[in-house]
Amino acid sequence: MKGPKQKRGSRKKRLIVAMTGATGSIYGVRILETLRAIGGWETHLIVSDAGALNAWQDHRLSRKDLSKLADVTHNVRDVGAAISSGSYITHGMVIAPCSMKTLAAVAHGFSDNLVSRAADVILKERRRLVLMVREAPLNLAHLRNMVQVTEMGGIIFPPVPAFYSHAKTVDDLVNHAVGRVLDVFGVEHDRIVRWQGIKEPVSVNDEQAGKHR
Ligand SMILES: Cc1cc2nc3c(=O)[nH]c(=O)nc-3n(C[C@H](O)[C@H](O)[C@H](O)COP(=O)(O)O)c2cc1C
């Protein structure tokens, strides 16, 4: 198994970031940017062919642009890469965004490329796997595959906007979703404004009561 060397005693944790062919490549991009800014993490990037297509379509980002954000980039066809073995220690993997096709592959252990193989390894090693799935509306196959991944220990994390955070820009919404995903991996970050409880609980009821009068 070939792979990047890591010095003995190195404290960097490894996180695999896969970008597949759903719209929403900004989520993968922001995860990589955040981990680089924080430091202490070694990122391993895999971009599927459709993932590259979407990064270009969404933001005019090329494979080269994406690679610059990661410490190591693996070819999606390289099923012999270090991350395709459980003996190569990683902290986990996030697929951001995750297409319904990759979701199906993960749900059924169909490891035909490095994204689905690396995810399969993460599940068999009982490490943390997060899928930022993106599709709407969802058919029964999508829903069943999400259940199956959840039953295997994976975490389905659709990037659904949280309006309670009073986001002012799309960037704020992206940061919130990314921040919550990084929480799952125990990454310490300041990407989000954390919920502190409702400050003015009465006004909601007053308003509703007024409307129905
Ligand atoms: C511009 C564009 C947008 C797409 N958006 C989605 C999407 O949001 N969700 C999805 O599941 N598939 C989407 N697809 C289809 C996938 O890219 C396609 O199923 C592909 O085979 C996924 O392969 P991958 O999982 O190996 O990346 C999109 C395709 C294109 C070209």
State the SS3 of the chain: CECCCCCCCCCCEEEEEEECCCCCHHHHHHHHHHHHHHCCEEEEEEECHHHHHHHHHHHCCCHHHHHHCCCEEECCCCCCEHHHCCCCCCCEEEEEEECHHHHHHHHCCCCCCHHHHHHHHHHHCCCEEEEEECCCCCCHHHHHHHHHHHHCCCEECCCCCCHHHCCCCHHHHHHHHHHHHHHHCCCCCCCCCCCCCCCCHHHHHHHHHHHHC
Atom 6, ligand 1: which residue's CA is nearest?
A: 22
Does residue 191 lie within any of the structural domains? yes
Q: What is the pLDDT of residues 120-138, one digit of tens each?
A: 999 999 999 999 999 999 9
pLDDT of residue 133: 98
At 165, the pLDDT band (50, 70, 90 cuts) reads: confident
pTM score: 0.92
Does residue 1 lie within any of the structural domains? no
Quote the mean pLDDT of the chain.
Answer: 92
Q: What is the pLDDT of residues 43-61, one digit of tens each?
A: 999 999 999 999 999 999 9
Q: What is the pLDDT of residues 65-117, one digit of tens each?
A: 999 999 999 999 999 999 999 999 999 999 999 999 999 999 999 999 999 99
At 213, the pLDDT band (50, 70, 90 cuts) reads: very low
Q: Whole domain around residue 169: which residue ranges? A: 13-212
Which atom of ligand 1 is nearest the CA belonging to 101?
25
Atom 9, ligand 1: which residue's CA is nearest?
A: 22
pLDDT of residue 206: 58
Does residue 66 lie within any of the structural domains? yes
Q: Domains in the chain: how many in total?
A: 1
CA of 83 to the centre of ligand 1 (A): 23
Does residue 56 lie within any of the structural domains? yes
